[in-house]
Amino acid sequence: MIVSPSIASGDPLRLADEIALCDECFDAMHLDVADGVAVRGISFGLRACVAACELSRSSSRSIHLEVNDPLAYVDDLRRCDATELFVQTDNLANPVGTLRELRAAGLGMAVGANVSNLDVGRAYFDVLLEEGGLVLVGTTAHDDPAQVCRRDMLELAAQLAGDGREVWVDGGITPDLLAPLAEQGIHAAVLGRAVFGDRARARQLAHQWRNG
């Protein structure tokens, strides 16, 4: 299972160093693009993503698009040397149509839905899953300031993985959850605070994960 550090949890004034840490320890990095509308807070823009993907040597360079108008970013995304793109769907008027358009846009990366607890039970949800492809399951609620991992969303992720899907999980994932997630067939787990802030701890986590 891939452990993909979320750069948004790193030091914004030392992005090159944080990317180097991702390359060295995890061979993966995750970039959040938030516009402050779809979710609270504004993170990286696409220019930063282009630069980060150019600098990174990691095999997995994923982008998480948390914006109100994903299709407005198509031209910028084409310039990103990313390997995966996940699109937040719970805020979109036409989630299925948006996902189809992005997949047809020739972005040069795998495109998947980011589903949250708000998507579950909505009329489009089953159709969205039937579209296939990789999926990022948000394992916390947007409005939870503590960002506590939700058991129901972990169960959804395990169910989708059991159906043979490439499933990523993101939100409140702690190191003690990694082994159980891997056993359930989860493809990748996004970690933020568990990696950044203590470089020695990050290297120890990477060593323990690689060596069991």
Instruction: Map out the domains of the chain as residue ranges.
Output: 2-210
First to last CA, the chain: 12
Query: Which is more confidently placed, 197 or 27?
Result: 27
The mean pLDDT value for 16-27 works out to 96
pTM to 2 decimals?
0.95
pLDDT digits (tens, 9 = 90+) for 147-183: 889 999 999 999 999 999 999 999 999 999 999 999 9
Highest mean pLDDT among 35-44, 98-107, 142-151: 98-107
Using the predicted structure, report yes or no on whether residue 38 has a pLDDT greater than 70. no
CATH class, range 2-210: alpha beta
- The half-sphere exposure of 153 on its side-chain side, counting CA atoms within 13 A, is 25
Q: Are 127 and 94 in contact (CB under 8 A)?
A: no
Give phi and psi for 197, each to the nearest 5. 105, -25
- The rounded distance, in Å, linking the Cα atoms of 77 and 177 is 32
User: Where is average pLDDT lowest: 18-22, 35-39, 48-52, 131-135?
Assistant: 35-39
